[in-house]
Amino acid sequence: MKQDMIVILDLGSTMNTDIARAVRNIGVYSEIHPHDITPEELSKLPNVKGIIINGGENNIVDGVRIDVSRAVYDVGIPVLAVAHAPADCELTLQEWPASEEELALVLKSFVFGTCKAEPNWNIKNFITDQIQIVRRQTGDKKVLLALSGGVDSSVVAALLIKAIGKQLVCVHVNNGLMRKGESEEIDELFRNQLDANLIHVDASQRFLSKLEGVSDPEEKRKIIGNEFIRVFEEEARKLSGIEFLAQGTIYPDIVESGTKTAKVVKSHHNVGGLPEDLQFTLIEPLRYLFKDEVRECGLELGLPESMVYRQPFPGPGLGVRCLGAITKDRLEAVRESDAILREEFAKAGLDKKVWQYFTVVPDFKSVGVKNNARSYEYPVIIRAVNTIDAMTATIEQIEWPVLLRITDRILAEVPNVNRVCYDLSPKPCATIEWE
Ligand code: XMP
């Protein structure tokens, strides 16, 4: 299956990803490439039917105005230039239309009318292509994957199980900071239902001892990150014949990691920092997918909705929600209260509506009364936020009856807790997590 492609050349427009999405929405595959791509590099890309040169607000880099090479116009592929009109370009637009409908019309006219591209981009074809590519690339060699249970690593696992079955070795590290039932669900789904080759490492004690007495949030993050690499490395060394490392890198990770016009926003290293002698060849089958396409891919591969639409969960897990130096009591309080919150959110239909929701347990106590006696115990703080990109966030205005039900349950069922609070702070000034 060869899919037609529209190439978007990046001249620093913040619209690049929106345009790439819009082209895929009309059924044609699209990729964003650097503005200084050479005609030779362009001709190596498969099935390019059209080029969109997307001029933008960031087209001055280090004081120099950047532009595409003139030769790109001469390779014989139709070019649409937007906000960027060289004299001899046939198709130009001053700016993109504001409405989605009009944008789709403009793109359809160019992509189907001028470029004669076929609308053959869909997730089924993508999966079929990737399975072939992975099989060709790996032959009979083994592939290692760190399976956290997050959406991206789970979808990569499902795809690779389909492509190479037991040649895929999944390593799931339980760091003791997972949510209630999470590690068990990973075992059940991947080992029992999908018959994956899954190594489950229970490293809870190891992580918790390393974290003992450490209260600084960044120090906690560093310890959790480093320890993960160490555990993963130890497991990798026990295995033989592994040549490849699969990662759940997705398109926004690549775009955000810096292009020639946008300096690095965030560096993404899912399993960075492995020692030099453990160099694997990387396999990143989702590297060209946007998040919603990753979810669609997961559903198509048979993963349950609860996994595919899972809310984001930070790498350091409950470790940054059990504030200050982690203790067993408070970690259990975070885990149990989080489970109640998730259960009640699901019952109220809020799990599909709210972007991220969790509980936090601080490292101070307050006075209360329980069973007619004075109590001196921890509070639980509920947080529920909505956001588009996690850079800013607003709080969800949860209805009182739902909040009261959650409060009653937490107070009745979670040991060492005598008070429940609701966090009303947007981001900024607060961040989404408390640490
Ligand atoms: P903040 O707290 O910075 O969170 O407003 C924004 C989003 O990022 C998640 N987050 C993390 N994710 N490792 C991660 O993988 C981390 O250390 C980390 N800290 C925050 C947070 O859950 C929210 O979705």
CA–centroid distance, 431 to ligand 1, in Å, is 9
Mean of pLDDT values over 186-212: 98
Binding site membership of 365 for ligand 1 (Cβ less than 6 Å): no
Task: Please give the Cα distance from 276 to 401 (Å, whole number).
Answer: 55
Q: State percent of the chain over pLDDT 70.
A: 95
pLDDT of residue 263: 52
**Count of helix runs (H) and strand runs (E) in the chain:** 13, 17
Whole-structure pTM value: 0.91
Which residue has the CA at smallest separation from atom 12 of ligand 1? 314
Task: Please give the Cα distance from 300 to 281 (Å, whole number).
Answer: 27
Which amino acid, 36?
A: D
pLDDT of residue 267: 47
Mean of pLDDT values over 382-389: 96
Binding site membership of 312 for ligand 1 (Cβ less than 6 Å): yes
CA–centroid distance, 213 to ligand 1, in Å, is 22
CA-wise closest residue to 409 among 329, 319, 327, 347: 347
Q: What's the pLDDT band for 71 if we cut at 50, 70, 90? A: confident
HSE (side-chain half, CA atoms, 13 Å) at 270: 20
CA-wise closest residue to 170 among 150, 185, 139, 191: 191
Question: Which atom number of ligand 1 is nearest to the Cα of residue 387?
Answer: 24
Q: What's the pLDDT band for 383 if we cut at 50, 70, 90? A: very high
Residue 157 DSSP SS3: helix
The DSSP element (H or E) to which 234 belongs, if any, is helix 217-238
Inform me whether the pLDDT recorded for 399 exceeds 60.
yes
Binding site membership of 390 for ligand 1 (Cβ less than 6 Å): yes
Instruction: State in Å, rounded, how far the first CA of the chain is from the last one.
Output: 47
Which residue has the CA at smallest separation from atom 10 of ligand 1? 314
Binding site membership of 433 for ligand 1 (Cβ less than 6 Å): yes
Task: Please give the Cα distance from 181 to 170 (Å, whole number).
Answer: 19
248-269 residue pLDDT tens: 999 988 876 656 665 544 444 4
Mean of pLDDT values over 95-99: 90
H helices of 86-213, in order, are 100-108, 123-138, 151-164, 182-186, 204-211
Q: In a mutational test of the pocket of ligand 1, which residue from 152, 432, 434 has the highest number of ligand atoms less than 8 Å from its CB?
A: 432
Q: State percent of the chain over pLDDT 90.
A: 82
Q: What's the pLDDT band for 59 if we cut at 50, 70, 90? A: confident
Task: Please give the Cα distance from 377 to 397 (Å, whole number).
Answer: 27
Question: Which atom number of ligand 1 is nearest to the Cα of residue 393?
Answer: 5
Q: Is 395 exposed, middle or buried (0-12, 13-18, 19+ CB in 10 A)?
A: middle
CA–centroid distance, 388 to ligand 1, in Å, is 14
Domain 123-308 shares a fold with domain 321-422: no
Question: Which atom number of ligand 1 is nearest to the Cα of residue 435?
Answer: 2
H helices of 301-327, in order, are 305-308
pLDDT of residue 1: 63
pLDDT of residue 85: 60
pLDDT of residue 272: 64
CA–centroid distance, 433 to ligand 1, in Å, is 6
Question: Which atom number of ligand 1 is nearest to the Cα of residue 433?
Answer: 2
pLDDT of residue 271: 58
- Match domain 123-308 to its CATH number in 3.40.50.620, 3.40.1010.10, 1.10.760.10, 3.40.50.720: 3.40.50.620
Binding site membership of 317 for ligand 1 (Cβ less than 6 Å): no
Mean of pLDDT values over 358-367: 98
Binding site membership of 16 for ligand 1 (Cβ less than 6 Å): no
139 Cβ contact partners less than 8 Å away, ≥ 6 residues apart: none
pLDDT of residue 266: 44
Binding site membership of 316 for ligand 1 (Cβ less than 6 Å): yes
Q: What's the pLDDT band for 319 if we cut at 50, 70, 90? A: very high
Strand partners, 48: 5
Inform me whether the pLDDT recorded for 316 exceeds 70.
yes
**59 vs 330, more confident:** 330
Binding site membership of 176 for ligand 1 (Cβ less than 6 Å): no
pLDDT of residue 90: 74
Strand partners, 92: 81
CB 208 within 8 A of CB 326: yes
Task: Please give the Cα distance from 199 to 238 (Å, whole number).
Answer: 11
163-185 residue pLDDT tens: 999 999 999 999 999 999 999 99
Mean pLDDT of the chain: 93
The DSSP element (H or E) to which 54 belongs, if any, is strand 48-55
Which residue has the CA at smallest separation from atom 24 of ligand 1? 312
110-160 residue pLDDT tens: 999 999 999 999 999 999 999 999 999 999 999 999 999 999 999 999 999
Q: Please, what's the b/e burial string for 355-378 (b: 16 or more CB within 10 A of its CB; e: otherwise)? A: bbbbbbbbeeeeeeeeeeeeeebb
Task: Please give the Cα distance from 336 to 278 (Å, whole number).
Answer: 38
CB 203 within 8 A of CB 227: yes
- 118 Rama sector, left if φ>0, alpha if ψ -120 to 50, beta otherwise: beta
Inform me whether the pLDDT recorded for 86 exceeds 70.
no
pLDDT of residue 265: 46
CA–centroid distance, 11 to ligand 1, in Å, is 30
What is the longest distance spanned by two Cα atoms in the chain? 86
Which residue has the CA at smallest separation from atom 9 of ligand 1? 314
pLDDT of residue 345: 98
Which superfamily is assigned to 5-114 in CATH?
Class I glutamine amidotransferase (GATase) domain (3.40.50.880)
Kindly list the domain boundaries of the chain, sorted by start residue.
5-114, 123-308, 321-422
Binding site membership of 319 for ligand 1 (Cβ less than 6 Å): no
Which residue has the CA at smallest separation from atom 19 of ligand 1? 314
Tell me which architecture the domain covering 321-422 has in CATH.
2-Layer Sandwich (3.30)
CA–centroid distance, 314 to ligand 1, in Å, is 5
- Identity of the highest mean pLDDT range in 81-85, 275-279, 370-374: 370-374
pLDDT of residue 73: 87
Task: Please give the Cα distance from 219 to 225 (Å, whole number).
Answer: 10
CB 298 within 8 A of CB 158: yes
**110 vs 389, more confident:** 110
